[in-house]
Amino acid sequence: MRIVCIGGGPAGLYFALLMKSRHPQHRITVVERNRPYDTFGWGVVFSDATMQSMRQWDPKTAASIEDAFNHWDDIELVFKGRKIRTTGHGFVGIGRKKMLNILQDRCVELGVELVFDREVESDEEFTDADLIISSDGVNSRMRAKYSEFYKPDMIIRPNRYVWLGTDKGFDAFTFDFRKTEHGWFQAHIYRFDATTSTFIVETTEDVFKAHGLDAMDQDQSIAFCEKLFAETLDGHRLITNARHMRGSAWLNFGRLVCEKWSHFNGRSHVVLMGDSAHTAHFAIGSGTKLAIDDAIELTRQFDIAGHEASNIPAVLAAYEEVRRVDVARIQNAARNAMEWFEVVGTRYADTLEPEQFMYSMLTRSQRISHENLRLRDKTWLEGYERWFAERSGVISAPNGVVPPPMFTPFRVRNLALRNRIIVSPMAMYSAVDGVPNDFHLVHLGARAMGGAALIFPEMTCVSPDARITPGCLGLWNDEQAQAWKRVVDFVHQATPARIGIQLGHAGRKGATRVAWEGIDQPLDEGAWPLISASAIPYLENSDCPRAMTREDMDRVIADFVAAAKRAAALGFDILELHAAHGYLLSSFLSPLTNLRDDEYGGDHEGRARFPLEVFRAIRAAWPEDRPTSVRLSTHDWCEGGNTPEDAAIFAAMFKEAGADLIDCSSGQVVKDDKPVYGRLYQTPFSDKIRNEIRVPTIAVGAISEADHANSIIAAGRADLCAIARPHLADPSFVLHEAAKIGFADQTWPKQYLSARTQYENNLARAAAEADKSR
C-alpha cells in the first residue's frame, strides 16, 4: 500500500513504524510542517500499562523510550501549607522532543520516508496514496476540509492554562494549589528528564482576567507564575518554548469528538488519528496514550484482515468500532478530571481539608476507586479512612478496626444513621386502594434487616388522584395509616434501620397501568382527572392534564400537609418531598413542562414558587427534630430543559426553606430525554450541589457495590448513597458488601448469625481459588 501520514506527532510516526515493521513493502511517508526539533510542549506522560503495550508491539522503540524516560510512583499535593504524598501510581514521563526523535529514528531505520518543514494544504497533494492518515493535530486541515463527513464537535473549555517548563527536577507528580486575592491557581508538575520538568499553570477565566494576565506578554506571565509558585520552584526559573506564539501563550483547551473518523475522497481513504479525531484533557495525561493506542489498533486490524489496499474499508470500520469504546471511556474520565480542575476553586479548595482534598483529587476522574487506592498505597488509604472516621464521630475500637467511609455514621437533626447506605424508593405497584399489605411488610422488612441504615418505601401518594397507578401506595386515610403502622413498628422494633417516607403527586404521569402491563401507558378504564403545571400530556396517547388553578394548589397543599401529619404520628424518621421525574412538582420546575405565564411560571423563582409552597407547608407540619429531604431531577437530559446549573439554583431555594438534604436524581421529566448512562453517572450532580450550595446530598444512580459508595462518600461527593436495583436483587446487599470488603464489624441480625461465617468462608475460598488460577 501507499500510505501518507500528514502530521509527524506520536500518532503518525508510531503508526508508520508499526506498519513498516510488519510489511516492509508498504511505501510510507510522514509529512510534518515543523522541523525535526520544533515542538510545542515539554514532557508527555502516560501510564505503565501503555508502556507494556508498546513493548509488545515494537520492543526496540519501547526499549529506547524506557532508556530515556523518567518513571515515578508518587503523587504529591501542595495545598494550604501542607504537603501530602501517596505512592503506587506508576507514571512514565519523557520529553516530547526526545520521544519524537526516538520515533523518527526508528522510522528512518525501517525505511519510512520523513519529510519535514512542509505544510500540507490538501490531501489532493497525494493522489497516489491508498491510505492517508490525518494525524495533523487538533487544528487538522484534513478534518476541516471534510467536516461535513467527519462532523466534528469542538467545545472550548473555560479554563486558561500555559504550558511552561522548569529546570528544577521533581521526584513526584506534583499538584500545587495557590490562592490569590482573586482566586485559585493550580500547577501540574512532572519531571521528564534529568534536568527538566513540565510546569502547567491553570486557572479560571475570571481569575485570569482579574490579574490582568490577558494583557501580559509571555515574559510578564512567566514572571507572574514564578512569583506565585516561588515556594515550590525554590529559586529555579520557569521557561517557555512557545516564543513562536503571539501574546501570553495562555490557551483554552478544546474537547473534540467526531461522529466519523474516516472518509473516502474518491481516490484515497482519509482517516483521523490522535488529536485530529479526539482530544483528552491533560488532567489525566491521556493525549499521547490515545494517539499510541490509535496507531496500535489500526495496525492490529490490518494484521487481522491483511495488508492489502482492498481491505482498507473493512479495516477502518473495525478500527473505529473498537477505538470508539476506549476513547469514549478515556474522554469521559478526562472530562471528569478536567471539570474537577475547572471548579476546584468554587467547589473544593476553600472548604475541604487537605486530607479530603487529596482524596477528591486522586479520584477526580472516577476511574480510580477506593479499593484501587488501597492496591496503590494501602498505608495512605488506611490513614485517610481513620481520619474520615474520626471526623464522622467514630472512636477507634480497641482492636484498631476502622470502618470504611460507607460504614461511618451520619447525623442530621435528631436522626442518627449507623451507616451511609439508603434503600432507595422503588415503585412496587402492589397496593390496593393505597393500602400497604403483607408484600410491603416482607419487602421492606427484609431490606431493613439487610444492613442499610435507612429504607424508603416507594413514593407514597397524598390523594387518590395523586397516584401513578392503581397499585401505588397512599397515606390519605386512616385505613392506610393503620397498615403503615405495622410496617413502621416492625422496622423500629426488629431492626436497627430507620424508615423514611417519600410523599409525592404523580401529576400528568398519573392514571397509568402498572409497569408490567405497559409502563406509562394510560388506563383503559378507571382513570382519574390529571393536573399539572401546564396542559401538556406526557405521551401522545396520554390523557391531557388540566393546568392547575389556585384552588387546585390549595387542595394539593392541604393533601401534602395531611399526609405529613399522619406520617409524623406513625413515627417515620425522615420525610422526603418528591419534586423529580416529571411528577407534579417537577412539572412546575422544568421549562419543558411549565409554560405558564402567571407568577407560577417563567424564571426560576416563578417555576419554584408552588413546589416551595408545598415544601414550606409540610416542613411546618413535620416535627422540628426530624429532617426533610427533597428529591430533584438535577438534569432533564433534553434540550431546553433544566441543567445541573438550574438544579443548583433550586437546591439553594429548598435549602433556604429548611431542607436538610437534597436527593440528586435526574431525567424522566419528558419521555424523549437522552441520559448519558454510565457508572456513577449522576454522582457529579450531587457533588455540585453538595459542594457549591453547601447542603448535604444523597447520590443515586448506578451505584452497585461498596467500592462505589466508599469512593463517593470519602471524596465528599455525597453524604449518603441511595441504592435501588442492587437491593431488589439482594435484600442483604449491605451485609454482603461488608463481607466482600472484609469489614467484620457490620452487625448481622442475630437470627442469621449462623449463616455469616459460612458466607464469609465461601468468599475466602472463592478468592483463594481465583488467586490459584492467575
Q: Catalytic amino acids?
A: 583
Q: Where are the beta strands (DSSP E) in 505-627?
A: 531-532, 546-547, 574-579
Report the C-alpha gap between 48 and 79 in whole angstroms: 27
In this structure, are residues 435 and 479 in contact, taking their beta carbons and an 8 Å threshold? yes
Chain centre to alpha carbon of residue 549: 40
Chain centre to alpha carbon of residue 714: 15
In this structure, are residues 584 and 638 in contact, taking their beta carbons and an 8 Å threshold? no
Total residue count of the chain as it appears in this document: 774
86: closest CA among 378, 372, 391, 334?
Answer: 378
The counts of H helices and E strands in the chain are 25, 30
Q: In a 10 Å sphere around its CB, with 0-12 CB exposed, 13-18 middle and 19+ buried, how is residue 550 labelled?
A: exposed
- Edge-to-edge strands, sheet with 262-264: 113-115, 27-31, 2-6, 131-134, 269-272, 262-264
Report the C-alpha gap between 623 and 478 in whole angstroms: 20
* Coil, helix or strand at residue 14: helix
The set of residues, in sequence order, having a beta carbon less than 8 Å from that of 653 and lying 6+ positions away, is 604, 605, 608, 612
Q: How far apart are the first and last CA of the chain?
A: 42
DSSP codes, 133-160 = EE---TT-HHHHHTHHHH-EEEEEEEEE
Chain centre to alpha carbon of residue 379: 26
CA distances for 429 relative to 463, 539, 636, angstroms: 16, 20, 25
Q: Give me the torsion for CA of 370, 373, 374, 380, rounded to 10°.
A: -110
Supply φ then ψ for residue 601, to 5 degrees. -135, -170
Chain centre to alpha carbon of residue 262: 29
- Which grid cell sits at 515? 409497569
Supply φ then ψ for residue 769, to 5 degrees. -65, -40
In this structure, are residues 126 and 132 in contact, taking their beta carbons and an 8 Å threshold? yes
Supply φ then ψ for residue 23, to 5 degrees. -145, 85
**Three-state secondary structure string covering 234-277:** CCCCEECCCCCCCCCCCEEEEEEEECCCEEECCCCEEEECHHHC
Q: Where are the beta strands (DSSP E) in 450-600?
A: 454-455, 460-461, 498-504, 531-532, 546-547, 574-579
In this structure, are residues 744 and 757 in contact, taking their beta carbons and an 8 Å threshold? no
Give, as one character, the DSSP assignment of residue 349. I
192: closest CA among 280, 98, 90?
Answer: 98
Whose grid coordinates read 496514496?
129
